[in-house]
Amino acid sequence: MVSLNSPEKTKILTISTIAFTVCFAVWTIFSIIGIQIKQNLGLNDSQFGLLVAMPILTGSLSRIFLGIWTDQFGGRIVYFCLMITTSIAVWLLSTVSTYEMYLLAALGVGLAGGSFAVGIAYVSRCYESEKQGTVLGIFGMGNVGAAVTNFGAPFLLIAYGWENVARIYAVVLFVMAIIFWFTTEEDPVTKARKARGEKVKPALMQLEPLKHLRVWRFATYYFFVFGGYVALALWLPRYYMGVYDLEIQTAGMLAAAYALPGSVFRALGGYMSDKIGARKVMYITFIAALVCLFLLSYPATDYRVHGIEGPIEFTIAIGLVPFVLLTILLGFSMSLGKAAVYKHIPVYYPDHVGSVGGLVGLIGGLGGFILPICFGLMNDLIGVWSSCFMLLFAIVAISLTWMHIAILISDKRLYPDLHGPQPLPEMLEEE
């Protein structure tokens, strides 16, 4: 097999991660410009939720075929073409004016989200299996693009208007595509296949691993750790403005405080998955998330107690500072889980990282599409701001229960003489 030396590997990982950061920033652009569009068009929360979720839909659905194309043709060419195409769509976004056209344009912008399926397959093929958890965790730090948008886009919007924000993002993405093309090279697997003159495998063969139940189980975990992360990154600016009456710049910065640890600690999650096993990391993720979401779910409530000397009235509500701290902790736990889920894929399916990773990413991305819509509908129907966290709490509780049951069944089958969950399930063969 054609191999790469360490400097070449490091350069590919670095440039790919930066490119993914730019793509992710573009993918979540509606979290900020969508607020201005909402005000301009007089949209309700349900319409706003659909608007910010539309790019997530395209980014999710595109991951499966982008992953297949990456397995077939190599990540470098697919990554480059994806960024060029998306940059054109982002520029065209600034030219539309009706709600229906915004929804259509948002679908094109969403192609940026498919970059993850391409990047993990491209980067993972450049490293040995024992390093892939850490490497994919580092690459996944590109999720910080959501924090970049939440932090920087509000200031660009105030200074130049939302249309110019879209144009600036389009130009940056186009330039990143050119830099990527001239500073990277083919991964070793693609190089070796071309050197042998092998034909690419048909798409149906690339989809073969998707018949395994464990692939879909991993995908459901990713629905929360990634889909929930994206949904909150999109929703929190609106939440801060509605609940705490903050300006868009402050709301964006506080939302970035959530998105930042949800990205930068993904490398730590990959490292922990390499060292102690993805199973333990997933337990840490789900348990910590349950605690945070339970507290965040409690709505501000006024109480009236009949005391000895008369009524006693008091209010229970989460102040701004505790709320921000809880969201930061929630984002941190999600970052660990995102890395842990993807640790499994190159171990189980080294020849199908693109297609399997694409499916897992698709399901996770669908979480980012479905959840903002649900948040908006719950606001309009229930009328309680914290209902979004109630929904996430239920999803995590179900996921943790399913994971634990699956682990107990697996361990009982593989280790009939041992008691309790065993470490490193990602290294074991499951049915």
Residue 15 and residue 184 in contact, taking contact as beta carbons nearer than 8 Å: yes
Phi, psi of 234 (to 5 degrees): -75, -35
pLDDT in tens, 379-416: 888 888 888 999 999 999 999 998 888 878 765 665 55
Residue 120 and residue 139 in contact, taking contact as beta carbons nearer than 8 Å: yes
Structure-block tokens of residue 155: 């200031």
- Tell me the average pLDDT across 90-108: 88
Element spanning 313, H or E = strand 310-316
What is the C-alpha to C-alpha distance for residues 209 and 213, in angstroms, rounded to an integer?
9
* Mean of per-residue pLDDT scores for the chain: 82
Q: Which residues lie across from 302 on neighbouring strands?
A: 315
Q: Judge whether residue 306 has pLDDT over 90.
A: no
> Considering the entire predicted model, what is its pTM?
0.70
**CA trace torsion 369, 372, 377, 379 (10° rounding):** 170
Domains and CATH numbers, the chain: 10-427 (1.20.1250.20)
Q: What residues have CB less than 8 Å from 132, skipping those under 6 apart?
A: 124, 343, 346, 347
pLDDT in tens, 21-51: 999 899 888 878 888 888 888 888 888 888 8
Residue 185 and residue 12 in contact, taking contact as beta carbons nearer than 8 Å: yes
Which has the higher per-residue pLDDT, 186 or 327?
327
Q: Judge whether residue 290 has pLDDT over 60.
A: yes
What is the C-alpha to C-alpha distance for residues 151 and 142, in angstroms, rounded to an integer?
15
Q: Judge whether residue 17 has pLDDT over 90.
A: yes
Among 74-78, 170-174, 208-212, 427-431, the range of highest mean pLDDT: 170-174
What is the C-alpha to C-alpha distance for residues 398 and 405, in angstroms, rounded to an integer?
11
Which of 53, 34, 101, 149 shows the shortest CA–CA distance to 377? 53
What is the C-alpha to C-alpha distance for residues 282 and 221, in angstroms, rounded to an integer?
9
